[in-house]
Amino acid sequence: MASDDTVPDNASRCPCDSGDTFGACCGPVLAGAPAPTAERLMRSRYTAFVLQDDVYLLDSWHASTRPDELELDRDLEWRRLVIVDRVAGGPFDREGVVEFEAFWSQGAQRGSLRERSRFARDGRRWQYVDGRVG
């Protein structure tokens, strides 16, 4: 889990831009509740990037593709998330695809990352498999 001073209050706006509160969106997922859909898992991983929660990022990564460690860029700030497309990834699917664009800033620089990510469900738990940047 990220250090306490970076974790948002449950009543505050969720960093993933769902429009919901942190306590009703990514908060419980980051705390260990299974994400019901691939999109919810993707959103929680975006929020984990915002909060620099590398433990959760590795935890939600499929064992077949998970890196040994994750080096997060401490001065890169993730500012906004837009979901572009989603395929399957529902509570009864085994696989899902979510395409998103995530906007960042680093000092005076601004940019965005667009990725089409694949997810797999194992039991009740969705995990990130891999992604195609483009």
Residues 6+ apart with CB under 8 A from 10: 21, 22, 23, 27
Please identify, using beta-carbon distances, which residue of 25 and 38 lies nearer to Zn ion.
25
> Of 132, 120, 1, nearest to 62 (Cα)?
120
Shortest gap between Cβ of 16 and Zn ion (angstroms)?
3
Residue 117 interacts with Zn ion (CB under 5 A): yes or no? no
Rule CB under 5 A: which of 21-60 touch Zn ion?
25-26, 43
Residue number, 19 or 107, with CB nearest to Zn ion: 19
Type of residue at 26: C
Among 5, 7, 13, 16, binds Zn ion (CB under 5 A): 16
What's the DSSP call for residue 35?
P
Give yes or no for a contact between 126 and 97, defined as CB atoms under 8 angstroms apart.
no
Binding site for Zn ion (CB under 5 A): 14, 16, 18, 25-26, 43
